[in-house]
Amino acid sequence: MGDPVTHFEIVGRDAGALQAFYRDAFGWEVTPAGPGYAMVLPGAGTGINGGVGTAPEGGGASRVTVYVEVEDLGQTLRRIEALGGRTVAGPLAVPGGPSIALFSDPEGHVVGLTEAATVRRR
């Protein structure tokens, strides 16, 4: 079994406007999770949860990122680099959350990684 996409993130200049847009467009539950950031939950029994907020980089950076859950961030980043990708950030421990990292693929697409809290059986 492959590693699953478990989270998405949409960030931009105006967290409140983005959160309202996605709440109203799709009926997502929006739960504040810190300054300028909220978790969004589809509540449909299917799909994945995500986050919508202000880009931590500031400067008006806007992006959409999907996160893949892996067993070991360091090992996965080494494999990605051997395949022609590049580590962009991390590994970083998110307070109250998982450890994360970002990488870019050989064409420059940025994708996130989260480290599994427990080892999944394969």
pLDDT digits (tens, 9 = 90+) for 54-81: 876 655 678 889 999 999 999 999 999 9
CA 34 to CA 23: how far, in whole Å? 17
Give yes or no for residue 119 having a pLDDT over 90. no
94: phi then psi, degrees, rounded to nearest 5? -85, 125
What is d(CA 29, CA 43) in angstroms, rounded to the nearest whole number? 7
pLDDT value for 1:
72
* CATH of range 5-115; options 3.60.20.10, 3.10.180.10, 1.10.10.10, 3.40.190.10: 3.10.180.10
> Mean pLDDT throughout 16-27?
90
pLDDT over 70 (residue 6): yes
Domain borders along the chain are: 5-115
Q: What does the pLDDT look like over 84-98, one tens digit per residue? A: 999 998 898 888 888
Mean pLDDT of the region 18-41: 90
Residue 122 scores a pLDDT above 50: no
Question: Could you tell me the CA-to-CA distances from 70 to 28, 62, 78, 106, 108 in Å, in that order?
Answer: 26, 25, 13, 19, 20
